[in-house]
């Protein structure tokens, strides 16, 4: 298989405009003859469904939540980047492009990232036009703040809930199309398989989560906007329902899965408090604008603190190690996420961690409060401080926050070309579901940007190019391909329901999460990964022998829902490990302990690993086939990332 990224010819800055001109168009009167399925209604899905509906296509949109507005994009706190340069601080499309490529440790496609930076400015205009209440200055113009990995203020925000406000904008556009009848919405409906006819994606099989009914939907193209797979770790900042099933089942139908080992561990999350923990809560990265990260200078002080012999306020200024400021004077506390996370792990591994488990560092606002006053800090971060206090019962105005990294985002995903089409004709992947824009590490406030860029401004053009070459003829869901896929889904559910073993689904999920966190988390090595691979295989085998799923398919069955998702995680986890094993270098979120600089920074190997690793499914338990897409860098010079 040859991976054709379909990157247009020509200078970087002209590629997208040229491509837009060159793509084939579907005449307005013919658009209504095409049906498009959009799975997932987060920023990428809702924006795509709404825009495609506006263009005149017949759209069917699906989400497993009870309303499209609850998709997990809603939880994004900090902001959305755009190269508006409203602050006159030297920002430009090229700078946003450059920061994103560099932040991603040179493992993303130049052309995709440049396009992302280009359309970023349109996103802000679009959202404002929809009535998204971004933060504003007293003069009535939009406010910006700075974020990790950038030296300009280009992040637009809506207090600590930018994700919700942007999603409500996309959701309102979606609602408008639903009201017009151009989008038919299917909430509480989960995609369980992709249907292919003649090698092309032509529909999906879904389960109605209320009645359990297995149904098929046919279309001319399918867009997966189903988010990331961070929940493979069990504990993550993802929502409880976030899952990889749609993408994974597409993978099993032949779509390539790219860079699965690239996961982002977010540095500022509330530490785990006990083994009952069901999820982790993120504290926005924007906190690092004013919070200072530190741990005690010595192991001994840290130990006394953990034992409760001293309190945090007893530790004198000179006994504190503001390790990010010390090691990275240029960026200080605003280093990219992977760097911040790895350093937190380093100091905790040294025994200088805080909190009862020793797996936490301080994020201290005392200086900022002294400098700006408590009201100013409360105005900026009040809701985050409240959330912290609710969860931990500690007041961050008086005591520094305790934070620890947690799985947050997955840069890997379905392989797509420049048109966001997977290697399966007619199957598209947008937003976090694809792999394309963030390389080995995503910068803060870029996920929202990518989701909306894909949905509002990219796929509406590129999908037309494909549809213009697709006959109008519809395929009925009585086609044997649909019946076959439905039967496979029914059989799988029946199999899960008939095992009637002893271990619960959550039990397996937690066990998998532990393996992934220990061996495929913030730091990896070949030996651990080999071990993890065997462990996952054992666990998966045990799952299919001993999992306990009760009830029937024909009802709201929460255990069956979870079992389906965890079954897929148990396969995906192995692929992540496989991918981490083959990538004998460190880059971004992928840190192989064997490959580091003397200063413990990630050591890339551009000679041998400047490629996208795209994996082809060959059967569960079989070795997947690796396809490589070489990454060419013509506009940026590959350098060792330095935030010093």
Q: How far is the CB of 62 from another protein (least distance, A)?
A: 14
Identify the three-state secondary structure at position 208.
Answer: strand
| 84-123 residues near another protein, rule: CB under 8 A | 84, 86, 122
Contacts of 289 (CB under 8 A, 6+ apart): 145, 146, 147, 333, 334
> Which residue lies nearer to another protein by CB, 551 or 621?
551
Q: How far is the CB of 496 from another protein (least distance, A)?
A: 14
- Confirm or reject binding of residue 69 to another protein (CB under 8 A): yes
> Which residue lies nearer to another protein by CB, 85 or 586?
85
Long-range contacts of 309-312 (CB under 8 A, 24+ apart): 312/354, 312/362, 312/399, 312/400
Quick check: 62 and 72 in contact, CB under 8 A?
no
Q: How far is the CB of 10 from another protein (least distance, A)?
A: 23
Q: How far is the CB of 331 from another protein (least distance, A)?
A: 27
| 447-486 residues near another protein, rule: CB under 8 A | 456-457, 460
> Which residue lies nearer to another protein by CB, 239 or 631?
239
Select from 70, 288, 292, 509 the one that contacts another protein (CB under 8 A): 70
Q: How far is the CB of 240 from another protein (least distance, A)?
A: 6
| 492-531 residues near another protein, rule: CB under 8 A | 502, 504, 506-507
CA distance 475 to 222: 14
Select from 79, 187, 439, 451 the one that contacts another protein (CB under 8 A): 187
Select from 1, 13, 240, 299 the one that contacts another protein (CB under 8 A): 240
| 392-431 residues near another protein, rule: CB under 8 A | 393
Ramachandran sector of residue 552 (left: φ over 0; alpha: ψ -120 to 50; beta: rest): beta
What is the per-residue DSSP string for 283-324? --GGGGGT-EEEEESSHHHHHHHHHTSS-GGGS-GGGEE-HH
> Which residue lies nearer to another protein by CB, 511 or 587?
511
| 552-581 residues near another protein, rule: CB under 8 A | 555-556, 558-559
Select from 67, 530, 534, 608 the one that contacts another protein (CB under 8 A): 67
Quick check: 351 and 163 in contact, CB under 8 A?
no
- Confirm or reject binding of residue 277 to another protein (CB under 8 A): yes
Q: How far is the CB of 56 from another protein (least distance, A)?
A: 11
| 121-180 residues near another protein, rule: CB under 8 A | 122, 124-131, 133-142, 158-159, 161, 163-165, 168, 171-173, 175-176, 178-179
- Size of the chain in residues: 644
Catalytic-role residue among 69, 154, 288, 337: 337
Q: How far is the CB of 225 from another protein (least distance, A)?
A: 15
Select from 28, 90, 274, 480 the one that contacts another protein (CB under 8 A): 274
- Confirm or reject binding of residue 279 to another protein (CB under 8 A): yes
Beta bridge partners of 434: 414
Q: How far is the CB of 550 from another protein (least distance, A)?
A: 6
Contacts of 379 (CB under 8 A, 6+ apart): none
What is the per-residue DSSP string for 340-366? HHHHHHHHHHTT---STTS--EEEE-H
> Which residue lies nearer to another protein by CB, 21 or 276?
276
What is the per-residue DSSP string for 72-85? GGGG--S-EE----
Identify the three-state secondary structure at position 207.
Answer: strand
> Which residue lies nearer to another protein by CB, 163 or 203?
163
> Which residue lies nearer to another protein by CB, 120 or 477?
120
Q: How far is the CB of 69 from another protein (least distance, A)?
A: 6
Select from 36, 111, 150, 282 the one that contacts another protein (CB under 8 A): 282
- Confirm or reject binding of residue 542 to another protein (CB under 8 A): no
Quick check: 135 and 142 in contact, CB under 8 A?
yes
| 29-58 residues near another protein, rule: CB under 8 A | 47, 50-51, 54
Quick check: 59 and 31 in contact, CB under 8 A?
no
> Which residue lies nearer to another protein by CB, 77 or 112?
77
Q: How far is the CB of 84 from another protein (least distance, A)?
A: 7
> Which residue lies nearer to another protein by CB, 347 or 566?
566
CA distance 626 to 621: 15
User: How far from 505 is each of 50, 552, 562, CA to CA, in Å?
Assistant: 36, 16, 7
What is the per-residue DSSP string for 427-440? EEE-GGGB-SSSTT
Select from 330, 391, 526, 620 the one that contacts another protein (CB under 8 A): 391
- Confirm or reject binding of residue 550 to another protein (CB under 8 A): yes
Q: How many CB atoms lie within 10 A of CB 399?
A: 16
User: How far from 359 is each of 128, 306, 400, 409, CA to CA, in Å?
Assistant: 41, 10, 15, 20
| 210-239 residues near another protein, rule: CB under 8 A | 210, 237, 239
- Confirm or reject binding of residue 357 to another protein (CB under 8 A): no
CA distance 126 to 456: 9
> Which residue lies nearer to another protein by CB, 93 or 127?
127
Q: How far is the CB of 338 from another protein (least distance, A)?
A: 22
Long-range contacts of 349-354 (CB under 8 A, 24+ apart): 350/299, 351/299, 351/302, 351/303, 352/295, 352/296, 352/297, 352/298, 352/299, 352/302, 352/321, 353/295, 353/302, 353/306, 354/295, 354/296, 354/302, 354/305, 354/306, 354/312, 354/402
Q: How many residues bind another protein (CB under 8 A)?
A: 82
Select from 43, 75, 246, 354 the one that contacts another protein (CB under 8 A): 75
- Confirm or reject binding of residue 634 to another protein (CB under 8 A): no
DSSP β-ladder status, 221-224 and 427-429: parallel
**Sole window of 389-397, 569-577, 608-616, 630-638 interacting with another protein (rule: CB under 8 A):** 389-397
> Which residue lies nearer to another protein by CB, 272 or 488?
272
Select from 26, 43, 61, 74 the one that contacts another protein (CB under 8 A): 74
CA distance 641 to 72: 31
442 counts as catalytic = no
| 244-273 residues near another protein, rule: CB under 8 A | 273
| Angle formed at CA 177 by CA 171 and CA 178, multiple of 5 degrees | 85
Contacts of 173 (CB under 8 A, 6+ apart): 46, 47, 50, 51, 54, 130
Write out the two tokens for 40: 């997932």
| 323-342 residues near another protein, rule: CB under 8 A | none
Q: How far is the CB of 485 from another protein (least distance, A)?
A: 26
> Which residue lies nearer to another protein by CB, 211 or 639?
211
Active-site annotation, residues: 337
């Amino acid at each position: 298989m040859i991976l054709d990224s379909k990157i247009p010819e020509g200078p970087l800055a002209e590629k997208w405009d040229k491509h837009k001109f060159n793509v084939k168009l579907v005449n307005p009167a013919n658009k209504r003859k095409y049906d498009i399925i959009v799975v997932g209604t987060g920023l990428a899905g809702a924006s795509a469904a709404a825009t495609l509906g506006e263009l005149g296509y017949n759209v069917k949109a699906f989400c497993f939540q009870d309303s499209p507005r609850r998709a997990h994009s809603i939880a994004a706190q900090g902001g959305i980047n755009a190269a508006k340069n409203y602050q006159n601080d030297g920002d430009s499309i090229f700078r946003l492009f450059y920061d994103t490529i560099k932040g991603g440790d040179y493992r993303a496609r130049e052309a995709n990232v440049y396009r992302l930076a280009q359309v970023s400015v349109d996103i802000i205009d679009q959202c404002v036009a929809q009535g998204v209440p971004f933060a504003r200055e007293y003069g009535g113009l939009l406010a910006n703040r700075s974020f990790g990995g950038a030296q300009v203020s280009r992040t637009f925000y809506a207090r600590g809930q930018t994700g919700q406000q942007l999603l409500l904008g996309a959701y309102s556009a979606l609602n408008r199309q639903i009201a017009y009848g151009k989008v038919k919405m299917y909430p509480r409906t989960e995609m369980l398989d992709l249907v292919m006819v003649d090698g092309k994606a032509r529909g999906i099989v879904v389960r109605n989560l209320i009645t359990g009914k297995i149904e098929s939907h046919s279309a001319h193209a399918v867009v997966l906007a189903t988010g990331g797979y961070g929940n493979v770790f069990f504990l993550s900042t993802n929502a409880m329902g976030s899952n990889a099933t749609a993408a994974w089942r597409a993978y099993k139908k032949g779509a390539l899965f790219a860079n699965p080992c690239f996961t982002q561990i977010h540095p500022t999350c509330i530490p785990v408090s006990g083994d009952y923990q069901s999820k982790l809560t993120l504290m926005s990265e924007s906190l690092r604008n004013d919070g200072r990260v530190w741990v005690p200078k010595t192991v001994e002080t840290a130990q006394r603190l953990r034992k409760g012999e001293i309190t945090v306020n007893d530790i004198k200024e000179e006994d504190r190690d503001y390790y990010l400021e010390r090691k990275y004077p240029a960026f200080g506390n605003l280093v990219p996420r992977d760097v911040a996370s790895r350093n937190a792990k380093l100091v905790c591994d040294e025994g200088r961690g805080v909190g009862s488990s020793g797996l936490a560092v301080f994020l201290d606002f005392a200086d900022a409060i002294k400098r700006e006053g408590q009201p100013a800090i409360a105005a900026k971060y009040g809701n985050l401080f409240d959330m912290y206090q609710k969860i931990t019962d500690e007041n961050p105005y008086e005591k520094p926050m305790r934070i620890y990294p947690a799985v947050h985002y997955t840069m890997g995903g379905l392989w797509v070309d420049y048109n966001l089409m997977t290697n399966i004709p007619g199957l598209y992947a947008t937003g976090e579901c694809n792999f394309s824009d963030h390389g080995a590490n995503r910068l803060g406030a870029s996920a929202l940007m990518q989701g909306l860029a894909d949905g509002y401004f990219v796929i509406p053009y590129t999908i037309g190019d494909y549809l213009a070459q697709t006959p109008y003829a519809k395929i009925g869901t009585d086609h044997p391909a649909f019946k076959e896929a439905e039967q496979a889904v029914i059989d799988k559910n029946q199999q899960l329901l008939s095992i009637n073993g002893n271990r619960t689904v959550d039990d397996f999920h937690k066990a998998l999460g532990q393996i992934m966190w220990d061996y495929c988390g913030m730091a990896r090595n070949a030996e651990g990964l080999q071990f993890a691979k065997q462990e996952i295989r054992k666990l998966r085998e045990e799952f299919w022998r001993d999992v306990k799923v009760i009830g029937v398919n024909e009802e709201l069955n929460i255990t069956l829902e979870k079992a389906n998702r965890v079954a897929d995680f148990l396969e995906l986890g192995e692929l992540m490990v496989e991918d981490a094993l083959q990538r004998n270098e460190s880059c971004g979120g992928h840190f192989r302990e064997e490959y580091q600089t003397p200063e413990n920074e990630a050591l890339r190997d551009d000679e041998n690993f400047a490629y996208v690793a795209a994996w082809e499914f060959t059967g569960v338990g079989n070795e997947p086939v690796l396809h490589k897409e070489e990454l060419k860098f013509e506009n940026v010079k590959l350098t060792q990332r330095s935030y010093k």
